[in-house]
Amino acid sequence: MELPEIIENVAIELLRSAVTKLPDSVEKALLKALEESQTDVAKTQLQAIVDDFITAKTSILPMCQDTGVVSFFVKAGEHFPIIAELPNILKKATIKATHDVPLRPNAVDLFKGNTGNNVADYIPWIYWEIVPNSNMLELVAFPKGGGSTNISKLGLLKPGEGLKGIKRFIVDSVVDAGAKGCPPYFLGIGIGGGEDIAMNLAKKALLRSVGTHNTNLKIAELEKELLKALNELKIGVMGLGEGPTVLSVHIEVAGRHPASLPVGIVFSCWADRHAGARIDSEGNITYLNF
Amino acid sequence: MGEFHLTTPIIEEAVRRLKVGDTLYVSGTIVTARDEAHLKALELHNAGKKLPVNFEGIGVFHCGPVMKKSETGEWTVIAAGPTTSARMEIFEEEFIKAFHPRIIIGKGGMGMRTTKACQEEVCVYGAFTGGAALLAANRIKKVKDVFWLQELGMPECLWVYEVKDFGPLVVAIDSHGNNLFAQVNDRVRENVTKVYKQLHIIEPGG
């Protein structure tokens, strides 16, 4: 098989895997939440979630009807032979996956309506990264649902508001989100950079395995402190007031302009879906574990 | 808190017995309708035109499903969990008054206008576990019909489903003016101050 065909097949498999099988660390977090839940409503709701993702895994069908808008995180080694063709290969894979998995057609053109195949201008979106001295391609399929997208937020705080302002913005964002994005949530937070950089980092933070912390100890402390505090809000599973509200907080921090303090917060619903693989220039495939 | 099993067409007295926090299972007919279907239905109604579906006594399901057509042309449900109901808040009061469904099914809850319409027209809102699309699909026994597919697309059109014990739904708005999500929200608002203090956003006692 030629390399373009291998990449296309891997991309289809990643989309299938993302919508039918949760990353191991996400699955573990949800099972632990069910085990620890004390009340009837929390138990019923978490049991329904667990039953649903187990059915999805065994039947290889999407766990949620909202199979998301498709994006890919791409890390292309500078020596990987196929880079310029990638957008077209990923578009073809998305169209095929839409039919085969199937995925719900979720790409809507502003004027022409739903394109019917999950491909539209700029969609699937690609987050590019070029890796020096590498002959590998790393692909992560990241389909993002609409419900949790709609509650994501960007705060352009005044630098004087500092850490207190950042914490307040995050608490207020979770309160505003309430039940709307299918809690328990997984949170990705990006601080600094600029308006788009903070949001980008927030999204990227969701790729980290659940339960891991930022290697910067101060940021790791902030993650732990926020996780504990946000659960005291008691929004609960599905916003019904019982069980966990947030299962992980991942924070990435970039340098910032002296006059700006951007904070991006990207919510993932309980179905924190993504799947990845590495392909070398010979076409050997290694699937990633999140 | 009780468990109830209702079959469509649902009568007024059955709905009146339901209270927030009850668990509900529905059998019979439910029809999917999201933003665009609500808008189109109300536009037709206001123009004095007839809808292809009679919503009276049945369930309206806030859902944009994944459907698959077989080679013989039959539709099957792949995944059909609820979508965020808050988006339909701008339509639902008028929709309930115009078409008299007995159950609105979705996720995340709805606002005070829908709560008022549920009280006046004797309707309830049942919350289905968000994202649990395969559980929902397993309770859908038959795809009876589809309307507006060409015009609105798969997620937005009207899918008419025959369901058996569709649930568990948590009654989150009853016909007595109670709204479970609003109650939780009130408690969350109270908890915010505590959380601010815990995070030293405001000082204890401040």
H helix or E strand, kind and range, residue A74: strand A71-77
Which residue's structure tokens are 């609820």?
B82
User: Residue B147 falls within a domain, yes or no?
Assistant: yes
Q: Residue A188 is which amino acid?
A: G
Count of the separate structural domains present in chain B? 1
Query: Got the DSSP string for A157-173?
Result: E-GGGHHHHHHHHHHHH
Q: Quick one: average pLDDT of B88-109? A: 97
Residues of chain A with pLDDT > 90: what percent?
A: 97
Query: Got the DSSP string for A77-131?
Result: ETT-S-STTHHHHHHHHHHHHHHHTT-----EETTTEE-SSS-BTTBSEEEEEEE
Residues of chain A with pLDDT > 70: what percent?
A: 100
* CA atoms of B189 and B192, how far apart (whole Å): 5
* Residue A138: pLDDT over 80: yes
Contact A182 B108 (CB under 8 A): yes
- Which residue in chain B is spatially nearest to A273 when comparing CA positions? B131
Cβ atoms B110, B88 nearer than 8 A: yes
Q: What is the CATH number of the domain that holds B84?
A: 3.20.130.10
**pLDDT, tens digit (0-9, with 9 covering 90-100), for A175-224:** 999 999 999 999 999 999 999 999 999 999 999 999 999 999 999 999 99
How far off is chain B from A6, nearest CA to CA, in Å?
27
ipTM of predicted assembly, 2 dp: 0.90
* CA atoms of A77 and A83, how far apart (whole Å): 9
Contact B191 A230 (CB under 8 A): no
Contact A105 B153 (CB under 8 A): yes
B107: tokens are 């996720």
- Which residue in chain B is spatially nearest to A114 when comparing CA positions? B153
Q: Which residues contact B47 (CB under 8 A, 6 or more apart)?
A: none
Q: Which residues contact B32 (CB under 8 A, 6 or more apart)?
A: B61, B62, B63, B64, B65, B80, B157, B158, B159, B161
From the list A41, A65, A171, the residue facing B81 with the nearest CB is A65
Residues of chain A positioned with their CB less than 8 A from the CB of B108: 147, 178-182, 238-239
Contact A239 B181 (CB under 8 A): yes
Cβ atoms B199, B54 nearer than 8 A: no
- pLDDT bin (cut points 50, 70, 90) of residue B204 is low
Q: What is the pLDDT of residue B1?
A: 76
Residues of chain B positioned with their CB less than 8 A from the CB of A235: 184, 188
How far off is chain A from B56, nearest CA to CA, in Å?
26
Alpha-carbon Rg for chain B in angstroms: 18
Contact B184 A164 (CB under 8 A): no
Helices (H), B7-69: 12-16, 35-46
**pLDDT, tens digit (0-9, with 9 covering 90-100), for A78-110:** 999 999 999 999 999 999 999 999 999 999 999
Cβ atoms A114, B153 nearer than 8 A: yes
A279: tokens are 């392909």
Mean pLDDT of all residues belonging to chain A:
96
- pLDDT bin (cut points 50, 70, 90) of residue A261 is very high
A217: tokens are 């100890």
CATH number of this structure's domain A3-18+63-145+273-287: 3.30.360
A65 lies within 8 A of chain B by CB: yes
A229 lies within 8 A of chain B by CB: yes
Q: Residue A90 is which amino acid?
A: L
Residues of chain B with pLDDT > 70: what percent?
A: 99
1-40 of A, contacting B, C-beta below 8 A:
none
Contact B184 A56 (CB under 8 A): no
Strands (E), chain B: 3-7, 23-32, 59-61, 66-69, 75-79, 103-106, 124-128, 140-147, 158-173
How far off is chain B from A137, nearest CA to CA, in Å?
31
Contact B153 A116 (CB under 8 A): yes
A109 lies within 8 A of chain B by CB: no
Other beta carbons within 10 angstroms of residue A146's beta carbon come to: 17
User: Residue B197 falls within a domain, yes or no?
Assistant: no
Beta bridge partners, A15, equal: none
How far off is chain B from A63, nearest CA to CA, in Å?
6
Q: Which residues contact A29 (CB under 8 A, 6 or more apart)?
A: A186, A210, A211, A247, A248
Contact B81 A66 (CB under 8 A): yes
- Which residue in chain A is spatially nearest to B106 when comparing CA positions? A180
* CA atoms of A175 and B187, how far apart (whole Å): 11
Instruction: Identify whether B168 is preceded by a cis peptide bond (ω within 30 of 0).
Output: yes
How far off is chain A from B55, nearest CA to CA, in Å?
23
- Cβ-Cβ contacts under 8 Å between A and B: the total is 175
* CA atoms of A270 and A233, how far apart (whole Å): 17
Q: What is the pLDDT of residue B206?
A: 53
Residues of B forming the active site: 38
Sign for the CA dihedral angle at A68, A266, A44, A35 comes to positive
Domain containing B161 equals 3-180
Degrees to nearest 5, angle at CA A182 with B170 and A288? 135
Contact A167 B138 (CB under 8 A): no
Q: What is the pLDDT of residue B124?
A: 98
A106 lies within 8 A of chain B by CB: yes
User: Residue B202 falls within a domain, yes or no?
Assistant: no
Instruction: Compute CA A288 distance to the chain's CA centroid, rounded to the nearest angstrom.
Output: 15
**pLDDT, tens digit (0-9, with 9 covering 90-100), for B16-72:** 999 999 999 999 999 999 999 999 999 999 999 999 999 999 999 999 998 999 999
Q: What is the pLDDT of residue A62?
A: 94
Q: What is the pLDDT of residue A279?
A: 98
Cβ atoms A264, A190 nearer than 8 A: yes
Give backbone dihedrals phi and psi of A185, rounded to 5 degrees, phi first: -90, 155
Residue spans of the domains in chain A: they are: 3-18+63-145+273-287, 146-268
Give backbone dihedrals phi and psi of B151, rounded to 5 degrees, phi first: -80, -45
Q: Measuring CA to CA, which residue among A254, A251, A250 is closest to residue A193?
A: A254
From the list B63, B134, B187, the residue facing A234 with the nearest CB is B187
